[in-house]
Amino acid sequence: KDWTKPAAMAIPKEGYDKVEQGRYGPIFPKTPACYGFSIIAKIVPGSEEKFYKYASNIEKAVAGQPDVLAVLKLHYLRWNLFTIKGDTYFQYMGIFDTEFDKYTEDAVAIFARTGLNTVFENLEGFPKDWKTNPMNRLR
**Secondary structure in 3-state letters for the chain:** CCCCCCCCCCCCCCCCCCCEECCCCEECCCECCEEEEEEEEEECCCCHHHHHHHHHHHHHHHHHCCCCCHHHCEEEEEEEEEEECCEEEEEEEEEECCCHHHHHHHHHHHHHHHCCCCHHHHECCCCCCCCCCHHHCCC
* pLDDT above 60 for 138: no
Residues of the chain above pLDDT 70, percent: 79
Q: Of 22-31, 44-53, 67-76, which gets the smallest average pLDDT?
A: 22-31
Give the C-alpha separation, 41 to 43, whole Å.
6
Neighbours of 6 (CB within 10 A): 7
Position 134 confidence tier, pLDDT thresholds 50, 70, 90: low
48 to each of 9, 70, 85, 91, 119, how far by Cα in Å? 35, 27, 16, 13, 10
Position 35 confidence tier, pLDDT thresholds 50, 70, 90: confident
